[in-house]
Amino acid sequence: MDTAAIYHRPESEYAFLYTNTRFRIRLRTRKNDIKKVYVLCGDPYTITTEKWYQKQRPMKKCLSTNVHDYWEIEVTSETSRLQYAFHVVGEDNTDCFYGDQGIFPYRENVITEPNFYFRIPYFHQIDRFTIPEWVKETVWYQIFPERFANGDKANDPEHTLPWGSKDPDREDFFGGDLQGVMDHLDYLTDLGINGIYFCPIFKATSNHKYDTIDYYEVDPAFGDKKLLKNLIDEAHKRGIRIMFDAVFNHMGVHSPQWQDVLKNGEKSIYKDWFHIRFFPVDSYQMTDLPETAENIPYDTFAFTPFMPKLNTANPEVQKYLLDIATYWIKEFDIDGWRLDVANEVDHHFWKKFREAVTEIKPDIYILGEIWHSSQAWLQGDEFHAVMNYAFTDSIKDYFAKKKITASQMVSGMNHQQMLYRDQVNEGTFNLLDSHDTARILTLCQGNKELMKSVMAFMFLQKGSPCIYYGTEIGMTGEDDPDCRKCMIWEKEEQDLELFGFIKELVSLRKQLSKIISEGSTQWLIVNDRE
């Protein structure tokens, strides 16, 4: 038995309160090394009187990766307290006791010692990780507003190009707006989606709007607040939730706060709103895009000088951003916030953010843009979920890119699942393509039958699936900006058969949402191709 591979951590994804009374416990062991695992558990105050350590409960091997097996059991406690340890039996028939003080031979003098057990002192409901229940039943549709539909040519920016006249470059405008979304709500209803994730709609200079000028104003090229309110109301009438994109890591250089810094330098009242290393900040040529930060006198998003990074540790910045976050909930009744570049903003701020928005709307959905393992943000006091790129990358690498074997895909997926509490996995945001990645049909090299397989497989996973606009009709596109092409509205140019397939997939997912989200799935590998 490889005792060094045995691992557990209390009050984490290895031990968590799933419902008000049901507590789930996991144990990790070396793959194919352990024959059986039992849990010894009971109230910490009755170990000597009830001798509950004599009643072993078998754990079930739930998931495996290429290197580890994971064991799980669900227990309850009438007193809302729990003390527990593990009896581990190896394939070589050796056994051991594993508890809070480490690993010991399985002996009477060990299993009767209270201090050798892990403890959950009390099941505090306020600490239980929860997600909005509606998220489990939601199929999202991501809209990049500038490219979805041009419903009002009167608000087109200067030099707007004819719709779909060319593949997009980074600076192109095609006139997409909120009226275009309003005009196609019937289309979205027909598809069956019940959630819209909007890329930023606030006033900004670029076509993507991630360089915010004013968080309180709808970009004039998209419409106005009255139109936005009508759009949200109409969506809600159709059972469609709305999620906005919050760009709180950085601002645009044309924001009034940054312009004040440019004008007044060290005397600016906003100089501490940003991470400025030296003055003057305009000494850097804004038109150049550097490969390093050496010559930029302030921190930015990536090495992008027109997106200066906000100092979210500054109380003034915190108040400003939290007021914005609550404003759009109170005034427009949005249902979720997607948080851009969430991993580069401090945890302290996100904890304040969660408290502020859930006080206004307890069932609002908080989604962080994080592309890697995200345990630190998913402890119950920050986000409900992250964009699940790390999980779906395994699916794409196997089906579309053919970089890994089936067992490696399942191993990668299972590894990601075991990083989090089950509630996290039930509410995570699953996507195969987005405004930041190549479209899934392009990754499948135009093979629509393969694309259908990938989509169907993703829709069967725990979490809340998302369709990137146009995927359902066969749109293609390489990485940004090519993945941001104009939506095709001409019926003769749409793949209607594919639309029908995706529509059926959405319907099936909604019917099976509870089974998929709260059930348990294990994949049988029939052919582990190279």
Q: Which residues are catalytic?
A: 340, 369
Q: Residue for token digits 């352990």? A: 34
Q: How far from 126 is each of 17, 19, 20, 326, CA to CA, in Å?
A: 11, 12, 10, 22
Q: Which residues partner with 118 through β-bridges? A: 84
Alpha helices in 124-224 (DSSP H): 145-148, 178-183, 185-191
8 Å CB contact between 243 and 195? yes
- Measured from the Cβ of residue 218, the count of other Cβ atoms closer than 10 Å reads 20
316: closest CA among 349, 356, 358, 287? Answer: 349
Alpha helices in 418-471 (DSSP H): 422-427, 440-443, 448-459
Handedness of CA 172, 176, 177, 181 (dihedral sign): negative
Which of the 8 DSSP states describes residue 156?
Answer: P
What would you report as the CA-atom Rg of the chain, rounded to the nearest whole angstrom?
26
Residue 60 CA to its chain's centroid (Å):
28
The residue type found at 380 is G
3-state secondary structure of 78: coil
Rounded Cα gap, residues 39 and 83, in angstroms: 10
8 Å CB contact between 399 and 457? yes
- In degrees and rounded to multiples of 5, residue 103 shows phi and psi of -110, 135
Rounded Cα gap, residues 496 and 492, in angstroms: 9
8 Å CB contact between 343 and 333? no
Rounded Cα gap, residues 169 and 180, in angstroms: 21
Q: Enumerate residues 6+ apart whose C-beta is below 8 A from 284.
A: 295, 296, 297, 305
